[in-house]
Amino acid sequence: MDSNLQKILRQSAAALLVVVLTAGLVVADGENAHIAIENPAELSKEEAVAHYRSLNKRMARGYAAAQLDLILNYQSWPLFNDAPYISATHGQRFVNSYANRMAHNYGTLQEGEELPMGSVLAKDSMTVTDEGRLHPGAMFIMEKLAEGASPDTADWRYIMVLPDGSVFGDTLGDRAGEVAYCHVCHEQVADRDYTFYVPEEYRKSE
Ligand code: HEC
């Protein structure tokens, strides 16, 4: 074979390999974004609150880059937990559970009742490793849509926003397939309008 041709073939093979490897990394990163970190720290409620206070402004700025009006100023919404708690189902991150004013019955929902259309539930998250390293985590969002807007997900829209404001997936927008698993799990609590609510030991007492 002509040696120039061989060189070109070798180069394109190398280039292809780079593309394949990079794609692999991107996928791995994406998975890390919602798969458990291995060594979450054990924190007291006070420590978890203090960590969150040192990070929450930065977290809000990150999510804001997604330009999703529905989570604008979410940190001023009612908060339903008394301290960030580890959520095994959301990647072993420390999470908070906020709900907008429309979701007035989020905390008192009885079996068979539903949240009103326009309800938005926002769960921000941070990771704290056992070496004490603190990082903003993803934001998990549920929005109650108009009746019939999304029959497959009982009219809930699920969105996951990464700490830098990029949208990992939106069941009503880009990369819907990436967040289809959200509703699959939330279906376990269909009788509570697909919401799990906060673990008992972290519920605000009022
Ligand atoms: C394996 C099960 C599971 C998966 C998958 C899952 N969740 Fe959850 N989700 C839960 C549980 C359990 C809670 C309540 C406890 C907690 O906060 O961890 C919850 C709570 C929430 C809440 C607060 C509202 C509520 O249910 O009380 C939001 C918002 C939320 N999840 C969004 C999402 C989004 C968005 C995804 C997908 C990116 C997702 N969840 C994937 C189990 C899951």
Partner residues linked to 156 by β-bridges: 144
pLDDT at position 37 is 61
Among 6-10, 59-63, 123-127, 151-155, where is mean pLDDT lowest?
6-10
pLDDT at position 69 is 97
Q: Where are the domains of the chain?
A: 36-202
Where is pLDDT greater, at 204 or 36?
204
* 3 pLDDT above the threshold of 70: no
Give the predicted TM-score (pTM) of the model. Answer: 0.84
In this structure, the residue with its CA closest to atom 31 of ligand 1 is 140
* 20 pLDDT above the threshold of 70: no
Tokens of 46: 């006070």
Q: Is there a contact between 121 and 195 (Cβ–Cβ < 8 Å)?
A: yes
Sheet holding 156-161, edge to edge: 98-99, 120-123, 139-144, 156-161, 167-170
Centre of ligand 1 from the C-alpha of residue 5, in Å: 54
Q: Is the CB of 71 under 6 A from ligand 1?
A: no
Q: What are the backbone dihedrals phi and psi of residue 177, each rounded to the nearest 5 degrees, phi first?
A: -60, -30
pLDDT at position 104 is 97
In this structure, the residue with its CA closest to atom 37 of ligand 1 is 182
